[in-house]
Amino acid sequence: MLKTILYIAIGGAIGSVLRYLTSVLVNKYWSNHFPLATFITNILGCFLIGLLLGILEKNNLANSNLKWFLITGFCGGFTTFSTFGYENYSLFQNNNSLVAFAYIGLSILVGLFAVWFGLFVSK
């Protein structure tokens, strides 16, 4: 278990630094009200989690330490939106569309409320 945590921690650190560098690079060339850096990070993260999971499954590595490093660590550090995207994809694939739409709607609405409530409590 400690070894798994180490893989996740290293992958997460790399993902977090890459997320920061993506923001620095995008914001250097784009200054607008639309949060392009976050949007790019989220979409890229969704692509990467799909690509990496596909490659891992194709090579029978879906239950390996590489999965902990790349998926939970790197993609999780880069953006949790990628996991959100994959989980909804899985729900749709398993004919759980109602659950997927509930998850999407609740995540957005409750997430926005939680941000507001956190700001409210901090004042």
As annotated, the binding site includes 76, 79
Give the dihedral of Cα atoms 45, 51, 56, 62; nearest 10 deg.
50
Cite the annotated binding site for Na(+) by residue number: 76, 79
Q: Count the Cβ atoms, other than its own, within 10 Å of residue 19.
A: 19
If we measure between CA atoms, which residue out of 60, 93, 76, 61 comes closest to residue 14?
76
Separation between Cα atoms, residue 75 and residue 42, nearest integer Å? 10
